[in-house]
Amino acid sequence: MPADTVPKMALRRFAWDLDLAQDELIHLLELTARLKRSPGAYARALAGRYLSLLFEKPSLRTRLTFELAIKQLGGDAVFSNGRIAEREPLKDVARNLDRWTHAIVARVFRQQTIEELARWSAVPVINALSDLYHPCQALADVFTLKERFGELRGLKLAFVGDGNNVAHSLMLTAPRLGVHLAVATPPAYAPQAEIAATAAGLAAASGAELTLTTDPAEALEGADAVYTDVWTSMGFEQQAGERRRVFQPYQVNGALFDQARPDAIFLHCLPAKRGEEVTEEVIESPRSLVFEQAENRLHTQKALLLMMLE
């Protein structure tokens, strides 16, 4: 590969979305497209490189796409589940793993765990999900939009439901690419104010519009893509009954989906609770790209690993 094909990231961590600089974000999307078209060209790019996968939460897509990503690039991965710092301090865990493997991918309950790992590790740390952010998901989301529509600038994305980690990462990623973003949540489940303020600044700098509302119909008006996530994330199971009641008006059903553009697509990071945040008719409609979106987790994460490790 030419030396300028896969630039190294300036920051040797991907703890949250803004660790990826603007030019790196744009390049990652371009590199993802090349990887998806010609995977064989990169089949030995990370030969001899190994990932530590630390998962406090269960996973299908995140674990398997990271394992497949490193393997398809010629490397390999080791996996550990359960509470990371249960038996020894996080700083000791980090300083063991950075002597055995070339990067740490962590899926955790608290963002502080990611920050602590990144503080002590001499190798890159990648946030595979925390309570505040899901940056790897956001990369796959914007790539899916680019793949479908060709141009990101000027698109409108509507996110409906819980102002959670997925919403936060979309707010920090989509506006930087010129995507107008509308987020509709119940009042008590709005995105965190500090993250919303940061996202508003990013949107102002790029010329994108960022709208926070409690009205799902308002959010979907003119939307090119409609996105939702489960109402009850892992760790909030005791609130499931109350959340079902509060979020019912935010269900993406046929009537709500019709508020978007006629050619609008549907997105979901999965797993989905059919009959709760989305109905069967929407998620199984021809305009649903949820499985293309899931596939793109593999390709964007391959690009991320190349940029951090090649």
Catalytic-role residue among 27, 63, 107, 299 = 107
107 catalytically annotated: yes
**Chain centre distance of CA 77:** 21
Residue 269 annotated to the active site: yes
Identified catalytic residue from 72, 137, 293, 301: 137
| Beta-carbon contacts of residue 279 (< 8 Å; ≥ 6 apart) | 251, 252, 253, 254
Residue 217 and residue 247 in contact, taking contact as beta carbons nearer than 8 Å: no
Name the active-site residue from 61, 102, 134, 268.
Answer: 134
User: Exactly one of 168, 176, 229, 243 is catalytic; which is it?
Assistant: 229
* Distance (Å, whole) CA 164 – CA 161: 9
Told to judge if 19 belongs to the known catalytic residues of this protein, a careful annotator would answer no
User: Is 136 part of the annotated catalytic residue set?
Assistant: no
**Spatial CA neighbour of 271 closest among 114, 68, 62:** 62
Measuring CA to CA, how many Å separate 106 from each of 9, 57, 304?
19, 10, 15
Catalytic residue among 251, 269, 299, 301: 269
* Choice among 251, 297, 299, 301 that is catalytic: 297
Annotate 236-300 with DSSP letters as a single string: -GGGHHHHHHHHGGG-B-HHHHTTS-TT-EEEE-S---BTTTB-HHHHTSTTB-HHHHHHHHHHH
Active site residues: 107, 134, 137, 229, 269, 297
